[in-house]
């Protein structure tokens, strides 16, 4: 067994940003473990632009964004173990396997979880009908197309209007496929508004809100898809069926943070995010184990992933250099109020916050004009106006320490619609 100061699991944008921040904060003995054969994570297959506007002030493609961090990494002594899969963590012992070295273990002083997430597939959402070839998750189709050079179909229906589905609707169209429809079970899209405009509206691809797939036709290869309108309980309404003759169904029906290792290490998971519960320092309930990026909660902007991961890296470095950060337990909890589905962090230690803390959250429904209120013991301690919020767009508020000092107990974040005059 070897020993290292910080072990980071995953070399996507989260792992890379965390590593560089920890290195710059003074810890030089860092190892990143990545199961893929190169660093960059999901960014490597996202060849569209739209990355890095906040971070670098320019619109980069996914690989360009990743390359900026890989270049920074190459100017450090951080070790990158590629083709190596972490199979478990037990306390601070990380167990992994690779073709080159077989089974190995590292004892770390601090660990950063940055394993990203995977796509939900057909099983959990009970897509009925035949099992013919031609049903793919949108991200798998993206990888086939952008990395391996295969177009997975010519006539396509997409289920789910998350960003990957929207981006693939445009990508398949640009490569010559006909995208017949995007069906979304909710009455609103789950992707960024800019992706709806640039990926569907610009290409006249119809979006069927409050619709789902009710039949998949075809024994060996998919031949058609039936979609139906759903009622307010998301149950298909008989008589509303529409049939599309197609050879491919792409599923963009959600992402699941990859937390099998986290769970089996006994780290407490928030059922709302499917990620670990963390404090403002990105530390999980286990002292010295930090989490960041999509493994913590699903992000739509990589810029936020990088900023969050830098916090994890800096705090992991502080932990290694000083033996602890925060106190894991003596905390103010952040509760979800009206129309808020989760917050990250879920707890904060106000004494540890120097100037301010960023709270990320998602709303439950689309609201045009509203206020985000932060309340403690019935008192509004902060309030932020928003012109528009939607579940597909992660929200961020920054709470200054000065206002947090007014909190008398736990705090609640909620959304209050501003009534039209
Ligand atoms: C299709 C798509 C389009 C997007 N478009 C945009 C956009 O236009 N603009 C934007 O700003 N953001 C976009 N995003 C969001 C952004 O790319 C992600 O939020 C970001 O990549 C998440 O980074 P991450 O490092 O947390 O996860 P990932 O990029 O998924 O990286 C996780 C890494 O961990 C590795 N790993 C996992 N488990 C293990 C293990 N056990 N052992 C070793 N390694 C492991 C994985 O192989 C992977 O490399 C998009 C995301 C997707 C999926």
Tokens 């060849």 locate to: 47
* 1 Cβ contact partners less than 8 Å away, ≥ 6 residues apart: 93, 104, 105, 106, 107
Fold entry, domain 121-253: FAD/NAD(P)-binding domain (3.50.50)
- 10 Å Cβ neighbour count for 172? 27
> Per-residue pLDDT tens for 124-146?
767 777 778 999 999 999 999 99
303 CB under 6 A from ligand 1?
A: yes
First to last CA, the chain: 68
- Pick the atom of ligand 1 nearest to 142's CA: 1
Identify the CATH number of the domain defined by range 2-118+256-329. 3.50.50.60
Cα 187 to Cα 363: distance, rounded to the nearest angstrom: 14
413 CB under 6 A from ligand 1?
A: no
Q: What is the CA radius of gyration of the chain?
A: 22
- Distance (Å) of CA 214 to CA 21, 209, 228, 229: 48, 14, 6, 9
For residues 203 and 173, is the Cβ–Cβ distance under 8 A? yes
Which regions in the chain score pLDDT beneath 50? none
250 CB under 6 A from ligand 1?
A: no
**What are the b/e assignments for 381-420, b being 16+ CB within 10 Å?**
bbeeebeebbbbbbbebebeeeebeebeeebbbbbeeeee
Q: By C-alpha distance, which of 27, 116, 9, 14 is closest to 78?
A: 27
Cα 301 to ligand 1 centroid, rounded to whole Å:
10
The best mutation among 9, 12, 54, 274 to test binding of ligand 1, ranked by most ligand atoms within 8 Å of the C-beta, falls on 12
Cα 366 to ligand 1 centroid, rounded to whole Å:
26
Q: Long-range pairs for 298-301 at CB < 8 Å and ≥24 separation?
A: 298/117, 298/255, 298/257, 298/273, 299/394, 300/163, 300/191, 300/192, 300/392, 300/393, 300/394, 301/54, 301/394
Domain boundaries of the chain, sorted by first residue:
2-118+256-329, 121-253, 348-417
415 CB under 6 A from ligand 1?
A: no
55 CB under 6 A from ligand 1?
A: no
Q: Helices 62-74 and 302-322 sit at what angle, rounded to 10 degrees?
A: 20
Examine domains 2-118+256-329 and 121-253 and report if their fold is the same. yes
Cα 305 to ligand 1 centroid, rounded to whole Å:
9
pTM of the model: 0.93
> Per-residue pLDDT tens for 27-58?
999 999 999 999 999 999 999 988 998 889 99
The best mutation among 96, 106, 115 to test binding of ligand 1, ranked by most ligand atoms within 8 Å of the C-beta, falls on 115
359 CB under 6 A from ligand 1?
A: no
Structure tokens at 108: 């770390």
């Amino acid at each position: 067994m070897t020993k290292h100061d910080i072990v980071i699991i995953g070399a996507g944008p989260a792992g890379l940003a965390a590593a560089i921040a920890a290195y710059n904060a003074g810890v030089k003995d860092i190892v990143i473990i990545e199961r893929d054969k190169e660093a960059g994570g999901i960014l490597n297959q996202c060849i569209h632009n739209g990355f890095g506007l906040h971070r670098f002030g320019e619109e980069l493609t996914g690989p360009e964004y990743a390359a900026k961090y890989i270049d920074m990494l190459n100017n450090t002594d951080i070790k990158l173990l590629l083709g190596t899969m972490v199979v478990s963590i037990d306390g601070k012992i990380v167990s992994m396997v690779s073709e080159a070295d077989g089974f190995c273990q590292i004892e770390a002083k601090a660990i950063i979880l940055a394993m990203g997430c995977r796509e939900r597939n057909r099983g959990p959402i009970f897509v009925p009908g035949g099992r013919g070839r031609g049903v793919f998750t949108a991200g798998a189709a993206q990888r086939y197309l952008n990395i391996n050079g295969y177009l997975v179909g010519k006539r396509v229906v997409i289920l789910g209007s998350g960003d990957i589905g929207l981006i693939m609707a445009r990508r398949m169209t640009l490569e010559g496929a006909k995208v017949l429809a995007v069906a979304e079970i909710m009455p609103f899209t789950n992707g960024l508004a800019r992706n709806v405009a640039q990926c569907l509206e610009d290409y006249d691809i119809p979006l069927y809100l409050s619709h789902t797939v009710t039949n998949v036709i075809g024994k060996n290869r998919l031949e058609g898809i039936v979609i139906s309108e759903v009622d307010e309980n998301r149950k298909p309404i008989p008589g509303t069926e529409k049939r599309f003759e197609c050879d491919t169904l792409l599923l963009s029906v959600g992402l699941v943070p990859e937390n099998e290792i986290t769970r089996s290490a006994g780290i407490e998971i928030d059922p709302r995010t499917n990620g670990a519960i963390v404090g403002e320092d990105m530390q999980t309930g286990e002292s010295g184990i930090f989490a960041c990026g999509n493994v913590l909660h699903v992000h739509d902007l990589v810029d936020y992933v990088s900023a969050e991961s830098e916090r994890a890296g800096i705090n992991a470095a502080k932990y290694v250099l000083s033996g602890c950060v925060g106190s894991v337990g003596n905390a103010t909890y952040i509760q979800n109020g009206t129309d808020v589905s989760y917050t990250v962090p879920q707890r904060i230690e106000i004494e540890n916050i120097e100037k301010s803390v960023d709270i990320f959250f998602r709303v439950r429904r689309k609201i045009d004009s509203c206020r985000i209120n932060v309340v403690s013991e019935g008192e509004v301690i902060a309030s932020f106006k928003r012109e528009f919020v939607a579940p597909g767009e992660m929200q961020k508020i920054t709470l200054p320490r000065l206002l947090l000092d007014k909190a008398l107990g736990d705090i609640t974040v909620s959304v209050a619609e501003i009534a039209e005059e």
